[in-house]
Amino acid sequence: MTAGVKRIVLTTRESALAMWQARHVATRLKVLHPGLEIEISGMTTEGDRRLDTSLAKIGGKGLFVKDLEDALARGAADIAVHSMKDVPMQLQPGHVIGAVAERADPRDAFVSNNYPTIEALAAGARVGTSSLRRESQLRAARPDLVVLPLRGNVPTRLRKLDEEQYDAILLAAAGLKRLALSERIRALLSTESSLPAAGQGAIGVECRADRADLIELLRPLDHAPTALAVRAERAVARTLAGSCNVPLGAYAEVSGDTMRLRGYVGSPDGARTARAVLEGSAADPEALGIALAERLRAAGAAEILASLEASGVR
């Protein structure tokens, strides 16, 4: 155990998935640092409280993180555990991501009680999703579907499907698998057909930058290939001012010293899309992410983003 750190308070959201992630990180840290005591403190964040409005309209996924960061800032907690896809592209000043654990399945999942795949959906079928990124790619592939907003934690979303409010819903595969709900997955969407969000499937641990003792404590938890990939993906989104308000995907794959990075930007209705791919050194993931963002701009993302800005979507 790192000298001087005997007990830490870990804060997280109170949803079933967030608590699973918190317990997972706590277990890993206890194995890495025998004798370490960890208290898990669950919080209901602003994003959890405001379920009646789409995230894009109330400030984006950062609403899931702000309350946790405030707890770190005032010393009420030592570390915060997040889904990396929910973490804003700019952390609160004075904060760092101390570790990114090994990534789980990054793909999107198709869940339905009546249809085996997206292709099998009847014209006019109702599909629920909370993600503009998923909506854009789905509309581009199946403009004949009716895409409806879907908020709430994973069990709530599944309940709404079972109540027949939707014919199908799209969720992150990692969340379903972590909650032992893999049997609800009818199909896994390839990263070619539904490019994941930046950081999807990865768990990040945040702490204050002045806590060198905690940064050292978290270091063994960091999975280098995942951390490099997430840094590249977040650089794409950060460069393009990506947020919950922008249908944007970024996904990196690391093989040895090489990284393959793909990006997507689309209009919410899927009528206009831009895609790009770039391979390069994994040693400087931010540079690769910035370069891919420029390729996306040249491929049409600049016009799409300008249109979103003019319409007030961004």
Pick the catalytic residue: 48, 67, 78, 86? Answer: 86
Closest CA to 109 of 166, 170, 150: 170
β-strands 126-129, 168-172 pairing: parallel
Q: Residue 44 corresponds to which amino acid?
A: T
Q: Is 162 a catalytic residue?
A: no
> Which pair of structure tokens corresponds to residue 295?
């390729």
Q: Could you tell me the CA-to-CA distances from 221 to 22, 203, 218, 291 in Å, in that order? A: 13, 11, 5, 29
Residue/partner pairs of 36-39 with CB below 8 Å, 24 or more apart:
36/1, 36/5, 36/6, 36/7, 36/8, 36/217, 37/6, 37/7, 37/8, 38/7, 38/8, 38/9, 38/10, 39/7, 39/8, 39/9, 39/10
Catalytic residue numbers read 86
